[in-house]
Amino acid sequence: MFCNWDKWIKHRFQKVKLRCRKGIPSSLRAKAWQLLSNSQELLDANPGKFEELEREPGEAKWLDIIEKDLHRQFPFHEMFAARGGHGQQDLFRILKAYTIYRPDEGYCQAQAPVAAVLLMHMPAEQAFWCLVQICEKYLPGYYSAGLEAIQLDGEIFFSLLRRTCPMAYRHLKKFKIDPILYMTEWFMCIFSRTLPWASVLRVWDMFFCEGVKIVFRVGLVLLKQILGSVDKLRELQGMYETMERLRNISPDAIREEILVQEIIILPVTESLIERECNVQVRKWRESRGELTHQPARRLHGTRAIFDYKRRAASISSGGSFSFLGSSIPAPGPLRASSKNHLKSSQTQALKAEMLVMLLRMYLLSC
């Protein structure tokens, strides 16, 4: 399969998807993730680029924050247990390189656990390009200043929850529990700090193949398991009790086989997410004004990345894919339609600061 990868994606993608859903063997996972994300092609198209980024000094403000975060990433894993050990050194190299590769984004603390998971499976250079694909193709805007993308996906997620589990939706709405209070860490860390390790790997296998819809599905399944029945809600009589339950998910709700099966059968598709995204973008522009994040940049998994690559090749004069590894300029703002633009911008900035603070508090507590 690996030897004829493009043919498999073009003609037998359903077979590839089925194998990812069954779980990729650990001995093949590193290679599979690189091919699924197309990061292998980025690596081949940019020889020496990672070393070049490493040689750059980097911004002191980012390096200081990265240094402080290193020991918090999977401290009980043998790779990261020793302060200053090879695991922490490689993690620093990756995160520093990304701040230089994308100076417009810099560093976000949620990138550290994502990069750490990648490092557990592949060398630093391969992990770097895999991280680039996650940040630019799978979850664009998630780690940018302002965190508009995660806020927008929070609104999409809450709307999808109303469709898939009305009981959980009504409970959260009753106690005014905003999606950003519980799903920010789930989505930005791709559940690497939430689920048991075996479940994390199964989720990531599907995520690399099928894209962000898997992240939405996992979150929806968790809420359905936690808040989806009268008996479960009987103990949760307020916001505090509900948030505690969401932060400390019962092992019964996240058993690997049950979780994966529920994820697979949940009817949340790419088209449904995109339709809801259009609705939420329109609401955002009406109520908050300017939106700098462009949701259209998101690609839904391997097949979408493959199709994007083919389209790009057809319009590229030299037929080279090297431009896929270049930095993407910051998107321009969409036209604002709100009369209270200044007030909306201030509210949006305040909400972004609160998001960053919540995420930092959570990561520091782990």
Domain residue spans of the chain? 23-138, 148-271
Q: Tell me: domain 148-271, CATH 1.10.472.80, correct?
A: yes
**Is 176 in contact with 321 (CB distance < 8 Å)?**
no
User: Helix 60-69 vs helix 86-101: angle between axes, to the nearest 10 degrees?
Assistant: 150
Beta-carbon-side half-sphere exposure of residue 77 (alpha carbons within 13 Å): 18
Higher pLDDT among residues 38 and 341, named by residue: 38
**Is 42 in contact with 325 (CB distance < 8 Å)?**
yes
Q: What is the pLDDT of residues 252-262, one digit of tens each?
A: 778 888 999 99
The single residue listed with the structure tokens 């990061």 is: 39
| pLDDT confidence tier of residue 317, bands split at 50, 70 and 90 | low
Mean pLDDT over 290-314 rounds to: 84
> In whole numbers, what is the pLDDT of the chain averaged over residues?
86
pLDDT at residue 227 tops 70: yes
> 213: which 2 tokens?
């819809």
What does the pLDDT read at residue 313?
A: 77
pLDDT at residue 131 tops 70: yes
Beta-carbon-side half-sphere exposure of residue 356 (alpha carbons within 13 Å): 15
What does the pLDDT read at residue 351?
A: 58
pLDDT at residue 136 tops 50: yes
Tell me how far apart the alpha carbons of residues 251 and 365 are, in angstroms, rounded to a whole number: 20
pLDDT at residue 275 tops 50: yes
Tell me how far apart the alpha carbons of residues 340 and 289 are, in angstroms, rounded to a whole number: 8
pLDDT at residue 115 tops 60: yes
Tell me how far apart the alpha carbons of residues 102 and 326 are, in angstroms, rounded to a whole number: 9
Q: What is the DSSP-derived secondary structure letter of residue 191?
A: T
CATH of domain 23-138: 1.10.8.270
**Is 17 in contact with 209 (CB distance < 8 Å)?**
yes
> 117: which 2 tokens?
């998971």
Find, among 332, 320, 181, the residue nearest to 244 by Cα: 181
Q: Which residues contact 210 (CB under 8 A, 6 or more apart)?
A: 17, 20, 300, 301, 302
**Is 345 in contact with 290 (CB distance < 8 Å)?**
yes
What does the pLDDT read at residue 328?
A: 41
What does the pLDDT read at residue 339?
A: 43
What does the pLDDT read at residue 24?
A: 96
End-to-end CA distance of the chain: 39
Find, among 326, 363, 294, the residue nearest to 72 by Cα: 363
Q: What is the pLDDT of residues 60-110, one digit of tens each?
A: 999 999 999 999 899 888 888 888 889 999 999 999 999 999 999 999 999
The answer to whether domain 23-138 and domain 148-271 are alike in fold is no
State pTM to two decimals.
0.86
The single residue listed with the structure tokens 């839904």 is: 300
pLDDT at residue 333 tops 50: no
pLDDT at residue 356 tops 60: no
Burial of residue 338, with CB atoms counted within 10 A of its CB: 0-12 exposed, 13-18 middle, 19 or more buried: middle
pLDDT at residue 327 tops 70: no
> 243: which 2 tokens?
């948030």
Q: Which residues contact 336 (CB under 8 A, 6 or more apart)?
A: 285, 289, 290, 344
